[in-house]
Amino acid sequence: MSAGVQTNRLTTRDIRAMARSGEKIAMLTAYDHVTAGLVDQAGVEIILVGDSLGNVVLGHETTLSVTLADMIRHAGAVYRGTERAMVVCDLPFGTATDPETALRNAIAVLQQTGCQAVKIEGGEAAAPIVARLVGQGIPVVGHIGLTPQAVHQLGGYYRHGKDAPAAQELIAAAHKLQSAGAFAIVLEFVVPELAAEITRSLEIPTIGIGSGDECSGQVLVINDLIGLNVEPVPSFAKPKADVAAIIRRVVSEYVAEVKANPPAMDS
């Protein structure tokens, strides 16, 4: 592609402009080509190829088993299924432990998938990593609050920022990540009033998940949105469909049709 050719795909500038104008940002996860295409056609601005694929697609109890190769395979499929949405890929557990390791792995993600940005979990300690990537031209989304890659250290899944010290830590982390160059920050399962305060205090957009309605945008796991689950959905997710029930019904009808027409037996 020549330098003068423009595409319709959204960029970090577009996302920042939406936040400045007060337009909410819609983000959803996707893990495969077809789902990504449908989400893209429906008008979502950012598609996150989350390491939540470990739970949703691969059947692991946590995200810790997801590898860089897993992320690259799925992110490439997602990117090839889209035309307009910005595509962001998680750097999975153990791939962003220091600035140089993160840079090497982020480069691999962008080169091998086409994705435009990566997401990194962590607070103030992640700021130097973010700065290193941004310094090399790699857009980064931060992620604070409930960080699933640290589930064992955190001691489980719970709402963050309930007391004053925890709230101040999250506020400081958000500003450190902004100063490091992150163009957006995911706030996961943060006390809604605190999420609103952080959002008002930043110049970059926040993307909430289970953190109230006053973030700059919202993200959900696509399966939780459409009801494509075999396990209970998180308390903050309100499915808008029951795709799992449709699949069970249609497959049951198919099974019944097959069994209603037994093969002919030789006489």
What is the block-wise mean pLDDT of the chain (267 residues), using blocks of 10 residues?
63 96 98 98 98 96 97 98 98 98 98 98 97 98 96 88 96 98 98 98 98 97 95 86 97 96 75
Residue 1 lies in a domain: no
Residue 265 lies in a domain: no
Residue 3 lies in a domain: no
pLDDT of amino acid 75 = 98
Q: Which of 188, 193, 214, 257 is catalytic?
A: 188
- In this structure, which amino acid lies at residue 160? H
Q: Give yes or no: 253 in active site.
A: no
pLDDT of amino acid 1 = 42
Residue 7 lies in a domain: no
Question: Which residues constitute the domain of residue 97?
Answer: 12-259
To the nearest 10°, the Cα dihedral for 9, 112, 64, 170?
A: -40
From residue 94, give the alpha-carbon distance in Å to each of 27, 37, 97, 128, 204. Answer: 25, 30, 6, 16, 27
pLDDT of amino acid 103 = 98
pLDDT of amino acid 5 = 46
Domain count for the chain, please give it: 1
Residue 2 lies in a domain: no
Residue 55 lies in a domain: yes
Residue 43 belongs to domain with CATH number: 3.20.20.60
pLDDT of amino acid 156 = 85
